[in-house]
């Protein structure tokens, strides 16, 4: 169930289009499983995923210097334990990502497809939010892009780093859906526990989610026919649109 959270900013227009660019096999997997895949946060390949920016790190050091000398070593040890836990925290969060844009994105086609035999599932923000069938809380909102050398992420919530990314990713205009599975043991937080393997498959009402399926620009006509056939095979009637982004200009 969607859980509203002040950290997760919502778009002013809840009907804005959102896109998920993927190769053909992932589309088949989505249709076959009737689900969306949420990848474990530390498996995205971004070394900054779930991390805090430099000003936050420096503020911790300044905080430590404010303690009396006789207890500083003990406090430092406790703080180090917290920092070590922060490094492990991405393992306990699963994320599904979408691109928010009223139009197709040439950059997204190139970024997420290894060939021209790929697709983009197009939905709307609210439709995406409401299509997810999950009995535990999940969060959804817009990623904020910051300078990790100079900007500060608000302290006080372990989820804060997961809705921030470096400015070099601004072109992604990312919408994130996050599921947190805390490692709660008999004596509280236990970072030796594993709560998520590679990710989580979450049941989704695809009929209410998918508005159109776009086929990559430059893909052959037989591939467009294959996408249509597979969608029909699984009992759906989504409109299949062959992207015209590579069409020649008329001078």
Phi then psi dihedrals of residue 138, to 5 deg: -135, 155
Phi then psi dihedrals of residue 39, to 5 deg: -80, 145
Query: 0.85 cut: is pTM over it?
Result: yes
Phi then psi dihedrals of residue 8, to 5 deg: -95, 100
Residue 123 lies in a domain: yes
Mean pLDDT value of segment 201-218? 97
Q: Among 33-37, 70-74, 164-168, which is the least confidently predicted range?
A: 70-74
- Sequential DSSP letters for 31-57: HHHTEEEEEEGGGSS-TTTTPPPHHHH
pLDDT grade, residue 82 (50/70/90)? Answer: low
Residue 2 lies in a domain: no
Mean pLDDT value of segment 105-116? 86
Residue 92 lies in a domain: yes
96 in Cβ contact with 38 (< 8 Å): yes
Residue 5 lies in a domain: no
Residue 125 lies in a domain: yes
Looking at per-residue pLDDT, the higher value among 13 and 87 belongs to: 13
How many structural domains is the chain composed of? 1
Q: Quick one: how far is CA 237 from the chain centroid? A: 27
DSSP letter assigned to residue 168: G
Residue 128 has pLDDT above 80, yes or no: yes
Residue 1 lies in a domain: no
Beta partners for 178? Answer: 95, 139
Residue 146 lies in a domain: yes
Q: Among 35-44, 61-70, 113-122, 144-153, which is the least confidently predicted range?
A: 61-70
Mean pLDDT value of segment 49-70? 79
Tens-digit pLDDT profile for residues 64-81: 666 776 776 776 666 666
Which of these, 184, 26, 145, 155, lies nearest to 96 by C-alpha position?
26
Q: Among 106-110, 145-149, 165-169, which is the least confidently predicted range?
A: 106-110
The whole domain housing 43 covers: 17-242
176 in Cβ contact with 163 (< 8 Å): yes
Beta partners for 187? Answer: none
Residue 134 lies in a domain: yes
11 in Cβ contact with 125 (< 8 Å): yes
């Amino acid at each position: 169930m969607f859980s509203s959270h002040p950290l997760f900013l919502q778009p002013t227009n809840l009907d804005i289009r959102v896109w998920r660019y993927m190769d053909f096999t992932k589309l088949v997997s989505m249709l076959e499983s009737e689900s969306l895949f949420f990848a474990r946060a530390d498996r995205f390949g971004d070394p900054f995923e779930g991390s805090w920016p430099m000003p936050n790190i420096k503020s911790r050091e300044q905080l430590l210097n404010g303690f009396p000398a006789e207890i500083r070593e003990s406090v430092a040890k406790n703080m180090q334990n917290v920092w070590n836990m922060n490094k492990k925290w991405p393992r306990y969060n699963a994320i599904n990502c979408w691109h928010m844009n009223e139009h197709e994105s040439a950059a997204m086609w190139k970024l997420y497809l290894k060939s021209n035999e790929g697709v983009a599932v197009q939905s709307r923000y609210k439709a995406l939010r409401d299509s997810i069938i999950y009995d535990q809380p999940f969060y959804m909102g817009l990623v904020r892009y910051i300078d990790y050398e100079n900007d500060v992420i608000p302290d006080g919530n372990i989820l804060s780093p997961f809705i921030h990314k470096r400015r070099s990713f601004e072109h992604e205009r990312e919408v994130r859906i996050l599921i947190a599975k805390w490692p709660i043991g008999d004596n509280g937080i236990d970072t030796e526990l594993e709560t998520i393997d590679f990710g989580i498959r979450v049941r989704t009402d695809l009929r209410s989610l998918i508005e159109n399926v776009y086929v990559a620009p430059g893909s052959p006509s037989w591939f467009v026919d294959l996408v249509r056939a597979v969608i029909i095979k699984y009992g759906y009637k989504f409109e299949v649109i062959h992207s015209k982004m590579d069409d020649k200009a008329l001078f």
